[in-house]
Structure formats: structure tokens, C-alpha cells
């Protein structure tokens, strides 16, 4: 039962054929995804609640609960507070704000809808980006009393950045400004000036009152001067992104290889853009192998044609290599392949971005290692000024250069969000730390190629009669890393081994003399050392390194540079109080006095290894004894 007795899909006198006809019609309706965004208290949740109410998507028990909750937690006295239909978290109801992204489904006779109610507070910008990432349309609300605010600008910038071309400017709470036509056009003029600056060329302004229902479903009698469509009418008629993507060349990221038996091998995924038919020529990227489509298979049978938005399995006429992460494209209109890009990042992590730190990058159905090689600038969304910045903090938006560990097929985000949108993931915590939009490939990525060499790393190592490896000593300052590493090298040298010792202090006198001790500089310090160590293993050497290297992520980065089994992590485990008591260089004393900033163990963290191959305790062992244990383990 529903709040409205004429709701056709639950009326008791429906006959079976009517129900079947309705369900068939409902199944074939188009689906519009849209978001509501804007500043705090602009009325986003109230607007969605009104849409749910007026589209007859509230059942009688829900309505009764809403009426009761409105009396307890509502902000409208004894009247219904429609925002409570969406603000489900207890904290949201207590504060009268939206914190998380709330998704709601509703439908009309013409279309189905999924709406994301996104938070207005700046600290929840990352939640807003999440809600906008799949939207066809954005409703940007403005409180008619407040006008254009900072969050209005921020959310508008993000909406445009995320490629949402269909934008509604809903000037809400018109009932609180006496439905003033002058106030409405004053706000539209102010917003138009900002929209032009960010490249938002078109938007539809609608004066509304979410609470009173003006211009939500029907034309408002209180604003006869407005002759445009009410909000719901526009939502029912707005074009869908998927329809526009059907006119572009074929792009389909392979999700999995479908091999139920020896006689069938297909490639499954959702078509991101374009149209495909049996007989069409295709190319698999990044390999570049070509073939033709033999059949288009679905659960309901084979198709003569498939378009953007459909999930299908394609079979080819030729046996070519194709696997998860590859992209099937139109043979004569392929996309680019590169491993270095310029991109915009919206930083979502609590910890700031560190250039040079390896992150996981997920784009389409691929996941790989990537680093931010060069932050170019941060954007002040209020003034649109480009600010010099070496990092990005929570909710910051910036343009950066990104390098991936292998070449990937891509398109600019504005042309194809599926192949141009990506996320960065912290390798240790698996938390999503950024959302990104690819602009273009860097030219140097197309001009630099690996040179094949006849004398390879195995030949170098064989000539030295040893196995190349990196022995990575890590521990606090004063733990004895350099002392032990030096003894280990002397012992290996006496055994006829070809070695080289990279010491943290020594490297900072030359290769890394331009780096300080901030977290970002420490990351770059280890990245450079890792690259040098890798080159030395290519030469067949046993490389010993003695660096604090405080972050697990960077130690893992160096491990990943090496061949399997070549990276030996040695944790010189010395408690902070013991290392500080030794304080041979007087560094702890300076750090405690505030004269030495970013000192590991004092005001900068040290992340102990979790899976070190070797651990030596210099409290119980002398440096000579610790070195002997390490040499014994290395020469077994």
C-alpha cells in the first residue's frame, strides 16, 4: 500500500495482464543517474524527499514513520520534514546535515531514476566526488537567501571536471524570499559569471521550493514569471550519457576470459562506447593484435548488434592473446597507449600525497603501480588561481604528471570516462586516496623505449660467479645499520664477492644533496637509491644499502623493482630509547630541542618491517655477531 491510493502498481483491482504490462513497461524505461550538490543547508535532502513523495514512492508505513520522525528530529515543526527520507545516519539527523552519500531509487511513468544526495561540507568533498562519478546530470542547489557560496563553486568545478554536461541550477527556498523574480535573476547572473570561468557553458536555472513543492513536479502558481519546465519534467527528458557514447568508436575493457569448456573462448565486459556487430574488425590493446568479431554472446542468446552500456561476451575468428585488463577497440580507430600522463587529481586521503611514492592505479579493469612524478599546481576553486604546490592534502584538487609501470590504453576523461577516469589506492592500507582524470599522454612517453642489450643482468652475474641481490638494512638512526653493513661487505669481499655499499649519509652528499627530510623528500630519496641499486644488480653486484627508509611503502617499492628473491630486507631492531642513548652524532638531542625537524622516531614516524627476511637485535648482539649472522644467511 502507498501513501497515494492511485499509485497504479499497487492498486488492488489490477488484473494480472495489467500488472504484466506495467512490469514490462517498467523494465524497458531508461535510467537517469543524477546527483544533488551544493553548500550546507541548501536543501538537497529536502528536494529528494519531495521528489520521492510526489512520485508516489513512499509506502504508508514509511509515511507514518516519517511523520513520527519529523516530530522528533525534524526542522519543520509539526509538518513533514522531507529531508529525513534521505538523511538516514543518526549523526545526520542530529545535525540536520548530510555526511555520507545517500542513494535513492524512484520512478515515474516515463523514466527510472537513481539519485545521489551528496554532502555539502568541504570535509566531505570526497563523498561528493564518489556520488558524481557515475552521474548523467547534476542538480546544483543554491539557497535563494545566501546566493553563490564557496561550496557552490567547489561542487560546480567538480561537476564540470567530472564531465557532467547536463546541469540544473536549482535556486531553492524561493518561498523565503517572497518568490522574488529579481532575486532569482541576480543569483543566475552571479552564477553564470563563475560558470563561464570554469567552462560550464550551459545550465538550466529553475526557481524552486523543495519544502513547498514549487516547480518540482508541476508549474508553480507562485512564480508565473517562470516559463521553463518544472524539475521533474526536465529530469524525465534529459539525455543520457550512455546514448551519447554509442556514437563513438568501439571501446570495451575485458573483465574476464569466459572459458566454460575447451570449445568456447570469449571475452566478457561492458561496452564503454560504440557499437559492435559480428564481422567487425577489432584490435586488442596494448598488444595491438587484430581479428574480427565472430559472435556476440549473452545469457539470453546471441545478438546481431550490441551498443554502449551492454554487458556481452565477444568471440573472435582468430586465436589471439587477450586477457583481463586489455581493451578491445575498433580496428581502424584505436585509442592511445602510453605510460606517462598529465591528469587532474582530487585528493581523498587523510595523509597528503607524496610525489615518488608508489600507489596502485585502477583504470577500467586494470590495476598497476603508478607514481606521481611531478605535481604541477593546485587549483583554488574559489578564485580558479593556480597555486604552486609540491603535494596535495585532503580534498585538494591539482594537476600532476603520473607514470605507470607499464603502458596502458586510455582516452582523455572528457572523451571517455571509462578509459580516462582512475583511482589511486594506498598499497599498504588499500584505501582509495585519490580520484583522477587523464588529460593526455606526455610526449616523452612515446619517444622513450627500452633498448635491447645483448649482455644482460644474468650474464653480468654469471661472470662474477654470484647471484645479484640487494641487502637492504633498515632501522632507526643509531641502530647500527651502517656499522653492520660495513662489516658484512668486508666479509663478503674477503670471500671474493663483488659488492657495493650505498650508505644513507654518503648518498646525501652527492646524488641526493638536493633533498631534505620531509616525508616527500624521504620518498624521493629512497626512490633514487632504489633505481641506483637496481642498475647495480643489472651489473651483477651484491648491493648493500644502509638507510633509515622509514616507510613500508617505499621499501616495498624497491622490492618490486627487483627480481623475485633478489631483495633481502634486514631489520636492525633497536628500541628508540637504546638508539637515543647511543646518539653518536647528537641528532636525537637536536631533535628533542626542536633544532632538527622531521627526525625519525621523534616527530616523524618509523614503520617497522612486517615481513623482513632477516632481523638482528643490536641490544643482544654486537655488530660483529650481527654481521656474521647476516653473512651466514646470505651464503647458504
- Cell representation of residue 562: 627487483
Write the CA distances from 348 to 381, 437, 603, integer angstroms. 16, 14, 24
Residues facing 330 on adjacent strands: 282
Please give the grid coordinates belonging to residue 17: 495482464
The rounded distance, in Å, linking the Cα atoms of 596 and 603 is 9
- DSSP at 595: S
Distance of alpha carbon 215 from alpha carbon 540, whole angstroms: 75
Outline where 421-544 has alpha helix (H): 443-447, 457-463, 481-494, 504-507, 519-538
Residue 319 to residue 161: CA distance in whole angstroms: 40
Residue bearing cell 567552462? 199
Distances (CA, A) of 110 to 21, 307, 471: 14, 22, 67
Residues 525, 508: contact at Cβ < 8 Å? yes
Task: Give the closest residue to 106 by CA, choosing from 46, 167, 42, 32.
Answer: 32
The residues that are catalytic are 549
- The Cα–Cα gap between 571 and 549 comes to 11
Centre a 10 Å sphere on the Cβ of residue 312 and count the other Cβ atoms it contains: 21
- At residue 148, the 3 state secondary structure works out as coil
- Residue 12, judged by CB atoms within 10 A of its CB (0-12, 13-18, 19+), counts as exposed
Is there a contact between 590 and 596 (Cβ–Cβ < 8 Å)?
Answer: yes
Amino acid at each position: 500500500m502507498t501513501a497515494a491510493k492511485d499509485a497504479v502498481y499497487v492498486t488492488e483491482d489490477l488484473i494480472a495482464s495489467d500488472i504484466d504490462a506495467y512490469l514490462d513497461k517498467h523494465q524497458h524505461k531508461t535510467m537517469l543517474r543524477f546527483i544533488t550538490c551544493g553548500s550546507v543547508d541548501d536543501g538537497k535532502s529536502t528536494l529528494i524527499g519531495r521528489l520521492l513523495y510526489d512520485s508516489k514512492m513512499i509506502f504508508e508505513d514509511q509515511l507514518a514513520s516519517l511523520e513520527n520522525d519529523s516530530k522528533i528530529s525534524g526542522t519543520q515543526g509539526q509538518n513533514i520534514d522531507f529531508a529525513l527520507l534521505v538523511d538516514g545516519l543518526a549523526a545526520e539527523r542530529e545535525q540536520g546535515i548530510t555526511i555520507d552519500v545517500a542513494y535513492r531509487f524512484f520512478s515515474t511513468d516515463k523514466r527510472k531514476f537513481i539519485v545521489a544526495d551528496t554532502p555539502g561540507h568541504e570535509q566531505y568533498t570526497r563523498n561528493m566526488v564518489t556520488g558524481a562519478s557515475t552521474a548523467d546530470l547534476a542538480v546544483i542547489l543554491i539557497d535563494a537567501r545566501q546566493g553563490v557560496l564557496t561550496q557552490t563553486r567547489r561542487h560546480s568545478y567538480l561537476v564540470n571536471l567530472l564531465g557532467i554536461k547536463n546541469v540544473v541550477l536549482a535556486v531553492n527556498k524561493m518561498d523565503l524570499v517572497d518568490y522574488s523574480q529579481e532575486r532569482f535573476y541576480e543569483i543566475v547572473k552571479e552564477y553564470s559569471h563563475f560558470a563561464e570561468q570554469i567552462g560550464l557553458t550551459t545550465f538550466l536555472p529553475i526557481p524552486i521550493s523543495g519544502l513547498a513543492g514549487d516547480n518540482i513536479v508541476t508549474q508553480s502558481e507562485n512564480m508565473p514569471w517562470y516559463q521553463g519546465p518544472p524539475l521533474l519534467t526536465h529530469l524525465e527528458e534529459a539525455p543520457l550519457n550512455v546514448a551519447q557514447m554509442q556514437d563513438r568508436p568501439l571501446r570495451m575493457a575485458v573483465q574476464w576470459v569466459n572459458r566454460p569448456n575447451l570449445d568456447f573462448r570469449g571475452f566478457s565486459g561492458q561496452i564503454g562506447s560504440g557499437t559492435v556487430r559480428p564481422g567487425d574488425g577489432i584490435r586488442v590493446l596494448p598488444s595491438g593484435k587484430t581479428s574480427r568479431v565472430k559472435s556476440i554472446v549473452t545469457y539470453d542468446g546471441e545478438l546481431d548488434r550490441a551498443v554502449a552500456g551492454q554487458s556481452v561476451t565477444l568471440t573472435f575468428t582468430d586465436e589471439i592473446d587477450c586477457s583481463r585488463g586489455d581493451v578491445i577497440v575498433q580496428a581502424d580507430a584505436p585509442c592511445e597507449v602510453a605510460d606517462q600522463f598529465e591528469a587532474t587529481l582530487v585528493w581523498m586521503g587523510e595523509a597528503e600525497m607524496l610525489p615518488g611514492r608508489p600507489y596502485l592505479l585502477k583504470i577500467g579493469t586494470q590495476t598497476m603501480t603508478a607514481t606521481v612524478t611531478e605535481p604541477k599546481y593546485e587549483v583554488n576553486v574559489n578564485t580558479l588561481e593556480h597555486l604552486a604546490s609540491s603535494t596535495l592534502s585532503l580534498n585538494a584538487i591539482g594537476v600532476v604528471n603520473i607514470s605507470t609501470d607499464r603502458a596502458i590504453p586510455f582516452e582523455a576523461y572528457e572523451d571517455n570516462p571509462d578509459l580516462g577516469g582512475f583511482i589511486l589506492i594506498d598499497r599498504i592500507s588499500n584505501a582509495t586516496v585519490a580520484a583522477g582524470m587523464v588529460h593526455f599522454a606526455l610526449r616523452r612517453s612515446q619517444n622513450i623505449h627500452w633498448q635491447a642489450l645483448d649482455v644482460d643482468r644474468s650474464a653480468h652475474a654469471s661472470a662474477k660467479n654470484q647471484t645479484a641481490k640487494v641487502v637492504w638494512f633498515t632501522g632507526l638512526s643509531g641502530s647500527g645499520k651502517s656499522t653492520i653493513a660495513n662489516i658484512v661487505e668486508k666479509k663478503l669481499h674477503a670471500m671474493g664477492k663483488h659488492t657495493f655499499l650505498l650508505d644513507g649519509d654518503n648518498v646525501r652528499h652527492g646524488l641526493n644533496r638536493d633533498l631534505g627530510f620531509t616525508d616527500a623528500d624521504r620518498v624521493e630519496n629512497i626512490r633514487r637509491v632504489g633505481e641506483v641499486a637496481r642498475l647495480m644488480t643489472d651489473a651483477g653486484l651484491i648491493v648493500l644499502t644502509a638507510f633509515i627508509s622509514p616507510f613500508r611503502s617505499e621499501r616495498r617499492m624497491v622490492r618490486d623493482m627487483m627480481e623475485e628473491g633478489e631483495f633481502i630486507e634486514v631489520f636492525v631492531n633497536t628500541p628508540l630509547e637504546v638508539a637515543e642513548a647511543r646518539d653518536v652524532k647528537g641528532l636525537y638531542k637536536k631533535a628533542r630541542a626542536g633544532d632538527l625537524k622531521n627526525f625519525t622516531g621523534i616527530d616523524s614516524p618509523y614503520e617497522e618491517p612486517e615481513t623482513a627476511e632477516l632481523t638482528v637485535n643490536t641490544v643482544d648482539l654486537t655488530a660483529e655477531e650481527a654481521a656474521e649472522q647476516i653473512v651466514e644467511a646470505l651464503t647458504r
